[in-house]
Amino acid sequence: MRLPFGLLVATILPFASAGCLINTHSLEKDYRRPILPPIQEGFPPPLCEDPPDVGALRRNMKGGHRRVPYFFDERCDNIQVMTEKLVDKLDPPHFFPLIGPAQLHHCQWQCTVHYDETITVGFPFSFQCKRPRLEVVNLDRDHLHLCVAPGKEEQKAIRPDRGRP
């Protein structure tokens, strides 16, 4: 019995489209930045304590994303991550149009990722290649802290940032 050609295409398409849906959903979360409450007087300034998660690193890595079902597959195995904080800086208050007066907290991380790259080819002849890889990924995790200016003098010091000196 011979199967129609359209049946073969219908089985391959769900694999390819599922990866696209996962990538678009995960990218929506990457660009959201929290707006935190004001920094209280008398307390030390906040620190960048949360390193980036492995999911955000995998989405920002150059390798390990290519895949054609049943023909070619590239994946990362044995992932080991070393994180290092490069920048932890708090800017002076600025006026942001939709938020109001706030301080921008810069958090920049340098992540060194060691992994084994596995390439599997299934057509025209099958083979598999494994090799160790190292990749350095720089990630910015900036967020805002609201400012409450109780006095008129402090409110005058916060100017709208219009891109002019």
More confident residue, 113 or 41: 113
Closest of 120, 127, 23, 3 to residue 68, by C-alpha: 120
Q: What is the pLDDT of residues 71-105, one digit of tens each?
A: 888 888 899 999 999 999 999 988 889 888 999 99
Can you give the pLDDT at residue 16? Answer: 47
Percent of the chain with pLDDT over 70: 70
Q: What is the DSSP letter of 160?
A: B
More confident residue, 37 or 29: 37
Q: Give the pLDDT band (50/70/90) at residue 137.
A: very high
Closest of 48, 49, 118 to residue 78, by C-alpha: 118
Closest of 118, 115, 132, 30 to residue 81, by C-alpha: 115
pTM: 0.69
Tokens of 21: 């849906």
Classified as helix, coil or strand, 115 is: strand
> Phi and psi dihedrals of 105, rounded to 5?
-105, 110
pLDDT exceeds 80 at position 20: no
pLDDT exceeds 50 at position 159: yes
Q: Give the pLDDT band (50/70/90) at residue 34.
A: confident
In angstroms, the CA 137 to CA 100 distance is 32
Burial of 91 (0-12, 13-18, 19+ CB in 10 A): middle
Can you give the pLDDT at residue 59? Answer: 84
Bridge pairing between strands 143-146 and 35-36: parallel
- CA angle, 119 as apex, 83 and 28 as ends, to 5°? 50
Contact of 110 with 134, CB cutoff 8 Å:
no
Cα dihedral value 69, 71, 72, 78, nearest 10: 70
Instruction: Evaluate the omega torsion of the peptide bond into residue 124 and state whether it is cis, within 30 degrees of 0.
Output: yes
Tokens of 57: 């690193």
pLDDT exceeds 50 at position 10: no
